Amino acid sequence: RFKPFTNFFLQPYADGLIGLKRPYTRTQYVQLFDEGEEDLIEAYPELNDNTFSAGLGAGVQARLTSWPDLLLDARCTYLMGGSARYLVRMDDPPAVFDDPIEVFEERITATTTLQFQIGLTLQFGL
């Protein structure tokens, strides 16, 4: 993170990001009750994948209080990601199947994301 020193209540910054993404598909078998509650019987991952990710972000922090330093943080992040496999429901699923997972098919797509975030930052030190 590059955050230049400003003696102003607005503090801009820029981020460089690198890492991994791990999308997964999980199957859950639940028992439904008349009251609308459900009881988890079994859960296990059907498919998972790993992909590399890198990107840039920029934001601005607005000082709300001076001690402790409480800042309102608004940022935008663009992460380029590789391709990953995941399961989606078929457009035309079979009428008869032995296992519910048979109505899903595997797809591969890029994991590029654009994220907008608003939050609070508690800053210690100078």
Q: Domain segments of the chain: what residues?
A: 10-123
Beta pairing partners, 73: 61, 119
Please write the tens of the pLDDT for every residue from 26-54: 777 778 888 878 887 777 777 888 999 99
Predicted confidence at residue 28, as pLDDT, reads: 77
Asked if pLDDT for residue 125 goes beyond 80, the answer is no
CA 21 → CA 39, 53, 113, distances in Å?
30, 7, 11
Predicted confidence at residue 24, as pLDDT, reads: 81
Predicted confidence at residue 2, as pLDDT, reads: 95
Q: Which run of H or E residues covers position 21?
A: strand 10-21
Asked if pLDDT for residue 79 goes beyond 90, the answer is yes
Calpha distance 33→37 (Å, rounded): 5
Q: The tokens 């030190």 sit on which residue?
A: 125
Cis before 94? omega within 30 = no
Predicted TM-score (pTM) of the model is 0.68
Mean residue pLDDT across the chain: 88
Predicted confidence at residue 126, as pLDDT, reads: 62
